[in-house]
Amino acid sequence: MTEQTKTSESAVGDVVLEAVSISRDYYLGRGRSGPVLSAVRDVSLSLYRRGVVAIVGESGSGKSTVARMLAGQETLTSGEVRLDGKVVHLKHRRAFRAYKREVQMVFQDPFASLNSVHTVRHHLERPIKIHRGIQGKQAIEEEMYRLLTLVSMTPPELFLPKYPHELSGGQRQRVAIARAIAASPRVLLADEPISMLDVSIRLDILRLLSDLRETLELAMLYITHDIASARYVADEILVMYAGEIVERGPAEEVTQSPAHPYTQLLVSSAPNPDALGSSLKTGTKIVPGQAGSALSSIVGCRFSPRCPFADEQCRTTRPPIVPTNDGRLVACWHLEQAAPSSVALTTKPRTTRAKKVLEKPD
Amino acid sequence: MADAEINETPRASRSKKPHVAREVSGTLPVFDIQGLSIVYRSGAKDTKAVTNVDLALMPGEIVGLVGESGSGKSTLAYGACRLLRPPAIITKGNVMYRGRRVREEGMSVLDQSRSELREIRWREIAIVFQSAMNALNPVLKVEDQLFDVMDAHLSLSRTEKRERAESLLDLVGIARDRLKSYPFELSGGMRQRIMIAMALAVDPEVVIMDEPTTALDVVVQREILSQIVELKDRMGFSVLFITHDLSLLLEVANRIVVMYAGHIVEVGTAEQIHREPAHPYTRGLLNSFPSLHGPRRELAGIPGTPPDLSQLPPGCPFMPRCTFATEKCQEVDMKLSPVDASKDAVHTTACPFVKPEDHVAQVNVRTRAAK
């Protein structure tokens, strides 16, 4: 039993990759005497076969750090990552390489993540040789064709000799995805895979990712600051603010009736074309706020400086995790004010939350 | 004194309602692009970035210019301000500017000499550039960069400049002590606000915003947009807002211009574009973004990729990607004509084949399919 809310009604498989209350601190001063930035604090999540979990948050909320920790590219300050239930240790190169075989990443910027002096062929050839151990020109060639067809870059022979600068943004991102699945991983970590792309191309890439999830049975982590796209891609959404998860639950519930004040702010900030003549045109001002601070010296709720419901308790004590009546978990002291309709009737708020196992409501 | 000039700029033709067309309002557009064509010339091959574009910006109006990357929207805006260098060549057209500070019949931007252009740039037409990270000078303090603009166009004493800089920072909601900061000490949103403050520093009449919020997350984006609208209402400038995100424009713009492959394919009010999109490309754009509100729709997107602008096929450039394409599309001349002649002349489209009735039916099909 973990803190996970098991969500989707679609047939998701077993847990593949699991993070158990992982944290990451950065020391800002010289040595360890200066202020401490806890970029990620006590985050737990599980990635299921054929399931998509989304992390949504503003820049600096620690969402990419979570992905890097899961990818083994960032050390953990505390907590552990488990692959198939076994704790992951990446002390040796060989262990790292074996882990990479299972867990691959797609990065935000396809202009930067591909090497501009190498062709598409080079980018695909290396993971096939390194991770799959496929030998022989013919076999490698066939595999590259298969990969490019999977990401619908056809005909493959046309794209293999091309350099990144000869491709459009969408095509580059397809190559980056093809490179990630070349290792035939079971987990794909996609860090803002569409935010650098044109709006009209984003949809194609999202569709490609969900097709791949089905055909290759991938467990996927989708990181974004665009909660609207998370609604379409993910089964479960985790909302992060200043290094902490403030709300988690099924995608539809989180986006349609956000409970945490920060999620409410996120949802109300998303462009809403159906609200023509909305607050923007009438010039109503919304409260500007600083991005959340994750300094560990902050006690209490990290969202409290921007929160309309904040009081003394919020500023001094870390909020409890409260289950709502529709299967979500929300870290807030004043849920009955922020989201009256979703407060659980039965459960009393718990005062400590770290590492405490929460049962699913009902 | 500085405060007064920034905050109180009486504009004769300022009202809550947008000026939708020159026939209706009676006033002339403040920035008027007429039949502009721009090519990138390399050897004998011309890449037609902008072809025969008309775009008028009325006083106090926010016009949104939307299109994919490579559709020519930035080239159009920069070309109209004469900011392009060869190999970009303006082959045809005219750009009129009619601000309060120039003579009444207006001036043609394309005919100005270099020194005359220096006078107009920033003073009359300012630009908020796309990437605030690169557009600010990393080794100068914010205050020095703001002073720079003022030195170029106004003769103010140091105290006056400081006062003005401080009130500019107040305008965009940044603490005054940030004047002493370097760009790297500011967050992305703050840098973008500094860019806006800098654009407004000498009280321009036209502000061109090139993807001002693209690199920012949604909460900051919304703050900045509401600030732009508020400042526009207060100071009365006009905005040409360039973006690839149509969902954003629907909320912020009075009028929306949709560009594809260097051509304008549709013009309409936000309401018209949203409720009765006429051009298949606009419909594709509207169907490309996931919506957060309302029922989950089936998203269609736009299949295919934008065309190569150096070898455009005859007729409509959208034809290869269009679901309604027929042979007749090869003869389309891409002239804008009213969608519904009986109503008004604001809503125009370059697609002559799709009738309003058809797309009403289309919309119905779409909503039914979603259920």
Looking at every residue in chain B, the average pLDDT score rounds to 80
* pLDDT of A187 above 90: yes
Least confident of B12-16, B85-89, B192-196, B295-299: B12-16
CB B325 within 8 A of CB B351: no
- Predicted confidence at residue A337, as pLDDT, reads 80
More confident residue, B17 or A130: A130
Residue B174 sits at the chain A interface (C-beta within 8 Å): no
Q: For chain A, what percent of residues have pLDDT higher than 90?
A: 31
Angstrom distances, CA of residue A50 to CA of A2, A63, B231: 19, 21, 48
| pLDDT tens figures, B22-46 | 444 467 888 999 999 999 888 778 8
Distance CA B81, CA A297 (A): 50
Contact across the interface for B226 and A280, Cβ inside 8 Å: yes
Contact across the interface for B222 and A280, Cβ inside 8 Å: yes
- Predicted confidence at residue A348, as pLDDT, reads 46
Encoding tokens for residue A105?
A: 């990443």
Distance CA B270, CA A273 (A): 9
Distance CA A347, CA B11 (A): 60
* pLDDT of A342 above 70: no
At residue A54's C-alpha, the angle toward residues A53 and A55, to 5°, is 125
3-state secondary structure B58-73: CCCCEEEEECCCCCCH
pTM as predicted: 0.78
A195-210 core/surface letters (b: 16 or more CB in 10 A; e: else): bbbbbbbbbbbbebbb
Distance CA B321, CA B304 (A): 6
- Predicted confidence at residue A148, as pLDDT, reads 92
What's the mean pLDDT in A341-350?
54
More confident residue, B74 or A1: B74
What's the mean pLDDT in B57-84?
88
- Predicted confidence at residue A4, as pLDDT, reads 42
- Predicted confidence at residue A357, as pLDDT, reads 37
At residue A268's C-alpha, the angle toward residues A265 and A269, to 5°, is 85
Distance CA B13, CA A22 (A): 59
- Predicted confidence at residue A292, as pLDDT, reads 65
* pLDDT of B20 above 80: no
Distance CA A242, CA A37 (A): 10
Q: For chain B, what percent of residues have pLDDT higher than 70?
A: 85
- Predicted confidence at residue A351, as pLDDT, reads 42
Encoding tokens for residue B21?
A: 């067309």
- Crossing angle of the two packed helices B158-171 and B188-199, in degrees rounded to 10: 130
Residues of A in contact with B302 (CB under 8 A): 200
> Band of the pLDDT at A298, cuts 50, 70, 90?
confident
CA A279 to chain centre: 30
What is the residue-wise DSSP string for A124-178?
A: HHHHIIIII---SHHHHHHHHHHHHHHTT--SHHHHTT--GGGS-HHHHHHHHHH
ipTM value of the model?
Answer: 0.71
> Band of the pLDDT at A105, cuts 50, 70, 90?
very high
> Quick one: DSSP state of residue B292?
S
B144-163 core/surface letters (b: 16 or more CB in 10 A; e: else): ebbbebbeebbebeeeebbb
Least confident of A210-224, A262-276, A321-335, B146-160: A262-276
> Band of the pLDDT at A19, cuts 50, 70, 90?
very high
Distance CA A37, CA A23 (A): 11
> Band of the pLDDT at A57, cuts 50, 70, 90?
confident
Task: Note which residues in 4-23 of chain B have CB less than 8 A from chain A.
Answer: none
Strand segments, DSSP code E, in chain B are 31-42, 45-57, 62-66, 88-97, 107-108, 125-128, 206-210, 238-243, 255-260, 263-269, 337-338, 348-349
Reduced to 3 states (helix: H, G, I; strand: E, B; else coil), residue A117 is coil
Task: Note which residues in 27-86 of chain B have CB less than 8 A from chain A.
Answer: 68-69
What is the residue-wise DSSP string for B333-355?
A: ----EES-TTT-SSSEES-SS--
For residue A96, the one-letter residue type is F
Residue B224 sits at the chain A interface (C-beta within 8 Å): no
| pLDDT tens figures, B271-284 | 888 888 888 888 88
Contacting residues for B244 by C-beta, under 8 A, at least 6 apart:
A198, A199, A200, B66, B67, B68, B69, B211, B214
Phi-psi region of A47 (alpha: psi -120 to 50; beta: other; left: phi over 0): beta
Least confident of A105-119, A176-190, A327-341, B1-15: B1-15
What's the mean pLDDT in A146-159?
88
Contact across the interface for A286 and B226, Cβ inside 8 Å: yes
More confident residue, B343 or B85: B85
| pLDDT tens figures, B109-147 | 888 888 888 888 888 889 888 776 678 888 999 999 999
Residues of B in contact with A269 (CB under 8 A): 218-219, 221-222
Please name the residue of chain B whose CA is at the shortest distance from the CA of residue A256.
B293
How far away is chain A from the Cα of B38, in angstroms, using its nearest Cα? 22
Contact across the interface for B251 and A227, Cβ inside 8 Å: no
Residue B185 sits at the chain A interface (C-beta within 8 Å): no
* pLDDT of A297 above 80: no
Distance CA A238, CA A230 (A): 10
Least confident of A8-12, A238-242, B206-210: A8-12
Q: Which residue has the tokens 């500023």?
A: A315
CB A51 within 8 A of CB B212: no
Contact across the interface for A225 and B217, Cβ inside 8 Å: yes
How far away is chain A from the Cα of B110, in angstroms, using its nearest Cα? 31
Reduced to 3 states (helix: H, G, I; strand: E, B; else coil), residue A218 is coil
- Predicted confidence at residue A5, as pLDDT, reads 42
What's the mean pLDDT in A119-128?
92
How far away is chain A from the Cα of B65, in angstroms, using its nearest Cα? 14
* pLDDT of A63 above 50: yes
Looking at every residue in chain A, the average pLDDT score rounds to 82
| pLDDT tens figures, B296-324 | 777 777 777 778 788 888 888 888 888 88
CB B87 within 8 A of CB B44: no
- Predicted confidence at residue A285, as pLDDT, reads 42
Angstrom distances, CA of residue A111 to CA of A141, A206, B79, B182, B363: 25, 18, 26, 28, 37
Please name the residue of chain B whose CA is at the shortest distance from the CA of residue A270.
B218
* pLDDT of A183 above 70: yes
Encoding tokens for residue B62?
A: 């926010």
Reduced to 3 states (helix: H, G, I; strand: E, B; else coil), residue A8 is coil
Distance CA B177, CA B175 (A): 6
Residues of A in contact with B299 (CB under 8 A): 203, 232
What's the mean pLDDT in B226-235?
85
